[in-house]
Amino acid sequence: MIIFDTETTGLIKNGLIELSKQPQIIEFAAIKLDDSTLEEVDRLEFLANPGVKLPEIITKITGLTDGDLADEQPFKYYFPQLVKFFFGEKYSFAHNHSFDTGMLSLELRRMKKQYQFPWPFRQICTVNSTYHFKNFRLNLQRLHFHLFNKEFTEAHRAMKDVEALTKCVIKLIKDGVIELWA
C-alpha cells in the first residue's frame, strides 16, 4: 500500500480550464507499507521545478521558495520512478485523495502518459473514511489529534504530512475503521 501527498502551485481549477493554466506538483512524497504487516518497505520523495514563479500564498503555506525549486528537475523526470514505486500496489491512501490523484492526473496528462500509470485498484481517502468521527471533514492536523490526542504542527510539507498520515492509516486499519481486502 502507498500513502502519498503532493504540494502544488495551487488548487485544481474547473476541468474546462486548459491544462497549461492548471496547477503543478512541486513536491511529492510517499511511503510504501507491506499490506500484511503494515511495516514500511520503501519511500519516495522529490521536489519538482514547475517552471513558473510560485504564488506567495504557496510559499507561505509550504515554506518552499522559487530558490528551493530552481535546480530541481521538472515533474516529468520522475515518471519512471513513480511507475516503479506504484506498480503492483493494491491500495493508495491520501488525506484528500481526489485532490492528490487529480494533481497526478494533470501531470500525467501534460506528459501524455495518463493511460500508462499503474493506479492502485483501491484508492482510499482518509477525509471520507473519518468523516463520521465529527460529522465534518477533518484536516490532517485534526485527524491526528483525534486519533493520538497529540498536535501535529509540521503540516504542508509532503513527507511530514505522509509520515503523520501513515501513523493515522495504520491506526485506522488496526482499529477496523478502514478494512483491507484480501
User: Between β-strands 91-94 and 40-47, what pairing exists: parallel, antiparallel or unpaired?
Assistant: unpaired
> CA angle, corner 59, sides to 57 and 61, nearest 5?
70
pLDDT of residue 87: 98
pLDDT of residue 155: 85
pLDDT of residue 153: 84
pLDDT of residue 15: 87
A 10 A CB-CB count for 71 gives 8
Tell me the C-alpha distance between 165 and 163, whole Å: 5
pLDDT of residue 181: 83
What are the average pLDDT values for consecutive 10-residue runs of the chain, which has 182 residues? 98 93 98 97 98 96 96 98 98 97 97 96 97 96 96 90 98 96 72
For 2-174, CATH number out of 2.160.10.10, 1.10.3720.10, 3.30.420.10, 3.90.1170.50 equals 3.30.420.10
pTM of the model: 0.96
How many CA atoms lie less than 13 Å away from 37 in the CB half-sphere? 6
Widest CA span in the chain: 46
Domain-by-domain residue ranges, the chain?
2-174
pLDDT of residue 158: 96
Tell me the C-alpha distance between 115 and 159, whole Å: 27
Q: Residue 83 has which C-alpha cell? A: 511507475
